[in-house]
Chain A
Amino acid sequence: MSRIDTEASAWAARLDRGLNVEEEAALDTWLIADRRHQGAFLRQRAALSLLDRARALHGKPADPVIEEVSVAPDHAPSRRRLLSYGTGLAAALTVGATWQFWPRARRIKTDVGEIRHIPLEDGSVAMVNSGSALRIAFTEHRRDVTLASGEAWFQVAKNHSRPFTVAAGPAVAQAVGTAFDVRRHADSTEIIVTEGTVKVWPLAATQEAVLIEAGHRVVVDRYSNLRRGLLDGSASDQRLAWREGRIVLDRMKLGAAVEEFNRYHVEQLEIDPSLSDREVVGWFSTDDINGFATTAASLVGGHVERDGSTIWIKKSSVE
């Protein structure tokens, strides 16, 4: 860029001085020689014209910048900003509506699109994903959590004499001081261990408990079948990016990606079935359904159409 810029500056300076006929022809030749020249020339001339306006500033009070500040309209912060900065506030405001204090049990419910960070009284932390419901019952000797629906990640405070147990559909997971994620799928429960070791067994207890270490996951289906697998660091980060309000798609099929997004929204995405096997990549904000739709459409050569509360990603006839 540098050489072209320098040449463009030279031409801008010549133009500023006034061109003779020969120079006009030479400038023409230069401009045609490379299509980038015209853009660079425009840029340098624009800068020179901007400098003309420095004259207007000359002799004026030293700091004219500040006086205009108050003129600006005071815009409300964006929705995204509210969502990201206001999560704590929103949680505080809805305490009455969504928490019920029972003698020792506490119910937590998140709305669609809501992700909550919930400190528990024993020093543990629960991050509760969109559209989830859980019940927390702590006693002197036990810490019991029931995940009725959705997904939650737990960072468990160490206490050997009070095991921390999460019952989630067909699976039960128990830990003393670890971090793990539990997600209810339609007919199975998935547990990802991010730290330490977690003991997992099927609720029906037809099998012995298995120990799952950090970096592994286990899926327990409704027939109590238990499948375990390795989840490398980046896959686990991607899978748990929701805790930061993010969705990470790494060569995920568009159909699956859309389902993932729909978890967080009342508005729903639909796709042309012929696009559902196309792979998409990206790192999105969970609340940015429109940004996802636009980008995904661009990546698969489609376009976005709205129909009421449905956002369609349709195939474009001409690619």
Chain B
Amino acid sequence: MKLTSAELVGWVGRYILPHEARLRSWLRSAFPAIDVDDVVQEAYCRIATLERVSHIEDPRQYLFKTARNIVLEQLRRDRIVSIEAATGLAEMDQAADGEHGNPERLASDRRMLARVEQLIAMLPERGRQVFRMRKIEGLSQRDISAQLGLSESVVENEISRSLDKIVRALTQEERAELPLHARGRRHGKVRHRVQD
């Protein structure tokens, strides 16, 4: 099996992963009945099959569209479409475009790095130490194990566990600050306003 190219890995790290949290909260709010993990996982599967990424001008939008297609396929397969689900589809474009030209978006790349720093800082002592040496000082796992007097497998385990934690924290849903003004309306729902 061909290993995903380093170029794609770098592209995903830089342009896709930072938007996963938003995608998740978007999916959650737009499609309450859908399995968000499933859709996100499938989106990465599809991205993993990309031969090249040079034609993708707006990776954030690409990610949202990919997710949208996955949701649509699921809905058509299930043949049950709730009102909420169909609404989510209509608003998906808006969600993907939501931050177009937003300064926040330009800054998000650097903000993400700042966030990574924070996350590394939050790791347990040994994980943090290993991660810093590997990622900030650029030492190899072998060098780290020699310097710290740990076995290579312990170092590898620290990397693996810490990575797991960091990815989880990084992609956790942001519940606040959805880019959708429509969300405010959805909260109230017409139903609750009729009689007021």
* B52 CB-CB contact with A under 8 Å: no
Q: In the complex, A84→B180 CA distance in Å?
A: 12
A256 to chain B, nearest CB (A): 16
The residues of A that contact B175 with a CB separation of less than 8 Å are: none
- Alpha-carbon separation in the docked complex, A298 to B28 (Å): 21
Contact A238 B190 (CB under 8 A): yes
CB neighbours (8 Å) of A35 from chain B are 45
Structural contact, B100 and A53, CB atoms closer than 8 A: no
**CA distance in complex: A240, B192 (Å):** 12
> Residues 185-202 of chain A: 1 if any B CB is under 8 Å from the residue's CB, otherwise 0?
000000000110000000
Any B CB within 8 A of the CB of A64: yes
Bound: A18/B156 CA distance, A: 10
Tell yes or no: B32 within 8 A of A by CB.
Answer: no
Pair B117/A57 contact, Cβ less than 8 Å: yes
- A65 in contact (CB, < 8 A): yes
Question: Are the C-beta atoms of A248 and B83 separated by less than 8 Å?
Answer: yes
B141 touches A284 (CB 8 A): no
Kindly report which residue of chain A lies nearest to residue B87, judged by CB atoms: A283
Which residues of chain A are near B117, meaning CB under 8 Å?
Answer: 54, 57
Give, as a whole number of angstroms, the nearest-CB distance from A248 to chain B: 7
Q: CB-defined interface of A1-42 with B at 8 Å, one 1/0 digit per residue?
A: 100111001101110111000000000100110011011111
Q: Is A65 touching B4 in the complex (CB atoms < 8 A)?
A: no
Total interface residues in chain B, CB < 8 Å: 86
Expressed in whole angstroms, the minimum distance between the Cβ of B116 and any Cβ of chain A is 5
CA gap between A244 and B107 in the complex, in Å:
34
- Decide if B164 touches A56 in the complex (CB within 8 Å): no
The reply to whether B16 and A46 form a contact with Cβ atoms under 8 Å apart is yes
Complexed CA–CA distance, A179 and B194 (Å): 9
The docked-state distance in angstroms from the alpha carbon of A77 to that of B55 is 27
Chain A residue nearest to B160 (CB atoms) is A13
Interface contact B194-A240, CB-CB below 8 Å: yes
A68 touches B90 (CB 8 A): no
Report the Cα distance A313→B63, complex, angstroms.
26
Contact of B90 among A74, A244, A291 (CB under 8 A): A291
Q: Give the secondary structure class of A's interface.
A: helix
0/1 string, B1-26, CB within 8 A of A gives 1: 10010101111111011100000000
Contacts of B11 in A (CB 8 A): 46
Q: Which residues of B contact A280 (CB under 8 A)?
A: 86
How many pairs of residues, A versus B, come closer than 8 Å at their CB atoms? 238
- Docked CA distance A18–B140 (Å): 10
Q: For chain A, give the interface size range.
A: 35 or more
Beta-carbon contact of A17 and B13 below 8 Å: no
Residue B34 CB within 8 A of the other chain: no
Q: How far is the CB of A67 from chain B (nearest CB, A)?
A: 9
Known: A9-B167, A295-B89. A39 touches B46 (CB 8 A): yes
Residues 37 to 53 of chain A near chain B (Cβ within 8 Å): 38-53
A65 to B6, CA, bound (A): 27
Q: How far is B155's CA from A241's CA once the two chains are assembled, in angstroms? A: 59
Contact code string B138-160 (vs A, CB < 8 Å = 1, else 0): 10111000000000100111011
Q: Nearest Cβ in chain A — how far from B8, in angstroms?
A: 7
The answer, among A16, A39, A249, A288, for a CB contact under 8 Å with B44, is A39
Contacts of B105 in A (CB 8 A): 72
Cβ A1 vs Cβ B41 within 8 A? yes
B16:A51 contact, CB within 8 angstroms: no
Given contacts A51-B116, A283-B87, A295-B89, contact A38 B48 (CB under 8 A): yes
Name the A residues within 8 Å of B47 (CB-CB). 39, 42
A58 at the B interface (CB under 8 A) = yes
B113 lies within 8 A of A57 (CB):
yes
From A99-107, A136-144, A229-237, the one touching the partner chain is: A229-237
Does B135 sit at the interface, judged by CB under 8 A? yes
Q: Are B106 and A50 in contact (CB under 8 A)?
A: no
Asked if residues A56 and B113 are in contact (CB atoms below 8 Å), the reply is: yes
Known contacts A43-B12, A240-B190, A294-B90; A5/B181 CB under 8 A: no
Chain B residues within an 8 Å CB radius of A38: 1, 4, 45, 48-49
Q: Which of A36, A44, A66, A248 has the most CB of B within 10 A?
A: A44
Closest 6 CB pairs of A and B: A39-B44, A75-B101, A282-B86, A39-B45, A72-B103, A13-B160
21 A-B pairs with C-beta separation under 8 A: A1-B37, A13-B163, A16-B134, A32-B1, A36-B42, A38-B4, A42-B4, A43-B17, A49-B10, A50-B18, A51-B135, A53-B13, A57-B114, A64-B114, A68-B110, A84-B181, A237-B191, A241-B190, A250-B83, A285-B90, A285-B91
Q: A42-B48, A282-B90, A283-B83 are in contact. List 10 more A-B contacts (CB 8 A).
A: A14-B160, A43-B44, A46-B16, A51-B135, A51-B166, A54-B135, A55-B137, A75-B100, A236-B194, A295-B89
